[in-house]
Structure 1
Amino acid sequence: MVRFSIEDLPPFPEDLHLAPIATISSARLQERDPTETARMIEACQTYGFFYLDLRDTKEGEQLLNDSEALLELAKEVFALPAEEKLQYHLKKGVSLFGYKAPGTVKLTDPERRPDSTEFFNIGKDLVQGLAPGWPYPPAITAARDPLLNGFTRRAHECGMLVLRTLARGLDLSDEEAFVRLNRFDMLSGDHCRLTRKFPHPSDKNAIGLPSHTDFGSVTILFNWLGGLQIESRTAGRVGQWEWVKPMAGYAIINLGDAMVRFTNGALKSAKHRVVPSPGPQVELDRYSVVYFVRPHNEALMQPLPEFANGTHVKVGGKVSVDDDENKVYTAGEWMVKRSIQLGS
């Protein structure tokens, strides 16, 4: 397969302040390298984001190929007429899956700006035949096997590599502790997301997606144009927005609020947002391909026993659902409540 090249796109400006996030080798994680494990743990307790080099493993190369095939699928389905895409629109509080049109206003955005992002959430359970799912355009249905089937399996296993490394780096006695909470063979909110943000060349205040934290366990992102920003953790810049530059051959990994919950705040779920692409990139549609690893529906959203006493240093973001801290939700219940908070 001819590798799609970021170099074929307009250049990412050189004068922007980049988030100093770590670059981690997937091969070294597979080898259980203690230095790489420690570097990943540090990344997940500071910025909450890191680049994962996928070029050094066979599985990583396959994921890169999958992401580029899904990029072409995204271009095809987002070119459909708006009235056709709206036939597949998700229903907030009913289903996380289906199509979301641009124009959502998130209540956490002080300026109440409608977003300029549309996406298709494609449930892993449907792709893998675990459950019936939301209807999708014919192009997505036709891509179920082998493309979506293979991508969801490989991306999920990439997430499990991250979770096993976290368990090892946090000195858990059971390396599979986080993996069991995010089982691939059980019903869950796991999904592949195809995303398009349309250009805003004349409106520098436009928002692609307002500030938020993800509410699953691990997010695996493939993108080609700039636009992603995360909150700085650097002294003197804390709370300011810093750019994440796409890099060829790398996925961008971040943790979600579920990992904050499971570790009682020992891991970080970082705030991030999507803004208009910088420099000459602003003229183009911005596509991304994402896989969200989320706890299976029966998992209990509470700290693991090792973290229940609160002796670990807390670095994480928000973990609450509404204000009821005394109720232990299942992940299925928790995901529905969090999805309702997405906006209107």
Structure 2
Amino acid sequence: MFPTVNTMLGYRLLFGVYTGIVPDGLDDLGLGDVDWAGDKTILLDYVKGRTAEESRTLTPRATRLLQQWTDHSALARQFAPPDLRDALWVRYDSHGRGPWVARPATGNTIRQWVAARGLVGDDGEPLALNMHRIRTTYDSMRDRRVWAGSRRATLDPNRSPQVEGDHYLGAGTPKQRALVDEIIAEAQNDMLRRAEPPVVLAGEDVVELVRDYPQKVASLGLNDEALAALVGGARDVFTAACGDQLSGLHGPKGKPCPARPWVCLLCPLALFTPRHLPNLMRLRAFFARQWDQMTQAEFMGVFGRYDQRLAEILTPDAHFTSKALLAAAAQVTDDDTELPLRPEEGTR
């Protein structure tokens, strides 16, 4: 009937994980800080000790939990002293100064709560639960960005490296392990492809390709007729000549490659020649427009590696002469209509 400190701690810990509010913000919450905006939304006001008063719109999950706690503690509030009835975490405690308490739980109470539930760490000792680290768990659950530059890439302080590895990297069944191995192999191959230098011909001669890139020619497995088509333009895509559009590197095998124009910059099947310079310049202008409308982190996450490869290809006198680069740049009008873009990829 009356929630005890053990029940309250369970609610409070879960509420902290769901909202990310620091302990000093949770300790002094009252019913007056809970502002219902409709039937399913709560605007919560709280005071963060190191800053000032803040507010947050709770997620549906946090809203349901808070409603469940207020319903659970409603009867207790009727019997609590008038000065404690508005405290959010009011509970019955016959062993303390109580029997009615609203103050934060002490460290000793938390340790007793952990021991009563048999929570232990990897060392077999009672789990050292740090209330101030609950926000880290909230951030890790909320973060859904890519791993590169993500806060989720660091270990949760409430977990050991072994637990993190078992939880996120462990695969239980042989099929799951095979899928994980396949993902790892694909990632490693992708990294190797990125490390390979671009295949750039200063001219458009099959003899030059065979002479300067014998390993590349061997890996493509093309005969003389196919090599002539590759260098001559019969296999051109927007930014390069493609060794095999049906190879399935970026889509189903046996079907035309669905990759976007900039993806070709890092593809091992791509061959860049002087006739591709105007389109490469158009792609550089497109990257510049994207840079102007995106944050640095967003741009580097989406286009960064392609922009670096493009800069490597278009470095003056590295592959093409400055005169050829200037002539190609003169053909660029700096407009989205120059590229085969989807509507959502436009910059205007």
- What's the TM-score, normalizing by structure 2? 0.22
Bigger helix fraction:
2
- What's the TM-score, normalizing by structure 1? 0.23
Which gives a bigger RCO, structure 1 or 2 (Cα 8 Å, sep 6+)?
Answer: 1
Compare CA radii of gyration and give the structure with the larger one: 2
Bigger strand fraction:
1
